[in-house]
Structure 1
């Protein structure tokens, strides 16, 4: 049996009696006692997640911008000020999603990317192939000397500033989807990005791995609650944020995964997968579902792979959970085109067809329900 990989915070999680699970080959905390309490901590105050299993990759060279203009479906031409970030899909030639990622622009010869843990090796191999075949001359450097802590919630930024005062000066005016580099803090040189995966405000902090445990403890001292993968999943689902491997993969177009907004087809720029996207177009709708209650009670829980019956044919749930914020069972589903918000569909749960309402995503943002 292959030994699980561990983040630099593994010992800290075990000291906190976290329930650890195998997450894509990594030994990760699913919760520290109550997943529901952790979820509510992020919605109402501040919680933090160890996301050091994700991989930071640096790209340097005079043709770095041209490289990403070709490699990514979103347009890095939008990145004109240092620290600006962009969410994008990395596509194969057939338009399938190799990964979804965030790319940070710091200068025309230096970009930084954060990729998903389970796809990191595949992503780096793909980037390397494009770099070599197209002779961009980029230097690609995986940075496993870094760890990442995501601090999320309405009070997250204030508590980070209390824990690391130098961050306040660098980031107080920082707009969403921008990053600042903060040098010479007690925790080393940091990259602090106003990004996240919860639908709340906050920071994702890239920190030298040797200093991450001290940063984690400093944040705890300011009342930031450690949170595990369980809460991260319910939060991202409420916020309408896709999970790679469930809501999309190499067989699924971003146009069929609710990610058309991340694909730039307006400019004439050539990028990997563009021809396939333009040929195939949108073939399915990607929607939110809320399971209707029976006699005021939940009739079941929506889960991935349950079948969805619609007036236009059959679809399937890609992600589902019970929403702690809404107190409803919610899901994402890929269904035939023509299914619109407000429609009633049936979800097959244990051989029983139960009614669900189609809604526009997201369900929750900044602590507020966006669906009724």
Structure 2
């Protein structure tokens, strides 16, 4: 749900919110323009429902190094990465962004609903370590910006004396940037699969930050445009495409774990999958032959070649069969492809671009696409 401090600004921009709880900002009235802003200009997204956990103490670094799937020890203050918390069986328990605040303070940012179970899980591994876990979600309330013009907008916001981070997941803290008061942390990272930035400033300043960014040329954009960008980029979303039912490699999360660091929970399973290329399914981008929404959970079927008679007479032992080979997790309209598109988990051996599947009982179908085929 958007931060209460941001709601007046969303209303002023004619945001269309869902009636659900929590509310979701669908659009500001012109989805194609919002999508175009992300591809050609700068799109501004409300991400104030994200949550964060602050991990502090003299043993915080070593503690996180032992538990998280990506490296921690080598990171300096101002650096970070995408990381995962895995189960002992190698399944994904949380998809997180790690930021090193200082030598004894680390922030984990996650989707809404992530932090409470994360804190409970981490607490179970705490014994005598000097580590404190603090839910800092109330002070997180970030906005997110992406698009080719985003860097220029941030440069103007920050002023000429500030060098914006150059590497992914690097961050800087700004005290009273141009036109604002208080402190803002700016992090460079992918937003809906696009090069972008996250700006976390706390609830007292988020409304002013929204106004400042829109005044500098950022176009407010909603969930519908964001989903189109995300699906085209083949990026899974926690709680929608990614859950504790999948392994990292199945969800295309190779950027969120390390095979080179020391032991961490679930490492042996992840390493075994990598070594043996033992994946039963993988999150896959597909285009639809229609524009109608496809519900999550829709099964994917493909007609397989008939098996030959065991007598060896060349005749078919049974007719061609439709095999259940996958399941849809997300649908969005793709402006790049000009049709509907889905993300789906597809079984091994059926993921090649051009492979076609029937949707449910048919007659509609989907076709596997390479993510690289999407412009931008």
The TM-score bracket by the shorter chain reads 0.7 to 0.9
Q: Which secondary structure state, in structure 1, belongs to the residue aligned with residue 161 of structure 2?
A: helix
User: How many Å apart are 1:117 and its aligned residue?
Assistant: 0.7
CA distance in 2, matches of 1:342, 1:105: 39
> What is residue 120 of structure 2 aligned with on the other side?
125
> What is residue 342 of structure 1 aligned with on the other side?
353
Matches within 5 A, 1:164-179: 164-166=157-159, 168-172=160-164, 174-179=166-171
Is 1:16 equivalent to 2:27 in the alignment? no
Q: Which secondary structure state, in structure 1, belongs to the residue aligned with residue 234 of structure 2?
A: coil
Which runs of 5 or more structure 2 residues have no equivalent in the other structure? Answer: 305-322
User: How many Å apart are 1:160 and its aligned residue?
Assistant: 2.4
> What is residue 142 of structure 2 aligned with on the other side?
148
Paired residue total:
350
Matches within 5 A, 1:263-278: 263-267=257-261, 269-277=262-270
CA distance in 2, matches of 1:313, 1:261: 30
User: How many Å apart are 1:46 and its aligned residue?
Assistant: 0.8
Q: Deviations over 1:211-254 (max 9, x none)?
A: 11111111111121111222221111112211111212112221
Q: Which secondary structure state, in structure 1, belongs to the residue aligned with residue 34 of structure 2?
A: helix
Distance 1:239 1:64, change over 3 A: same
Q: Deviations over 1:251-279 (max 9, x none)?
A: 22212212244332334x22122344456
Distance 1:169 1:347, change over 3 A: farther
> What is residue 283 of structure 2 aligned with on the other side?
286
User: How many Å apart are 1:320 and its aligned residue?
Assistant: 2.0
CA distance in 1, matches of 2:154, 2:241: 32
| CA-atom RMSD in angstroms | 2.4
Distance 1:346 1:299, change over 3 A: farther
Which runs of 5 or more structure 1 residues have no equivalent in the other structure? Answer: none
> What is residue 221 of structure 1 aligned with on the other side?
215
Runs of 4+ off more than 6 Å: none
Which TM-score applies when normalising by structure 1? 0.85
Is 1:86 equivalent to 2:81 in the alignment? yes
Q: Which secondary structure state, in structure 2, belongs to the residue aligned with residue 341 of structure 1?
A: coil
Q: Which secondary structure state, in structure 1, belongs to the residue aligned with residue 194 of structure 2?
A: coil
Distance 1:36 1:5, change over 3 A: closer
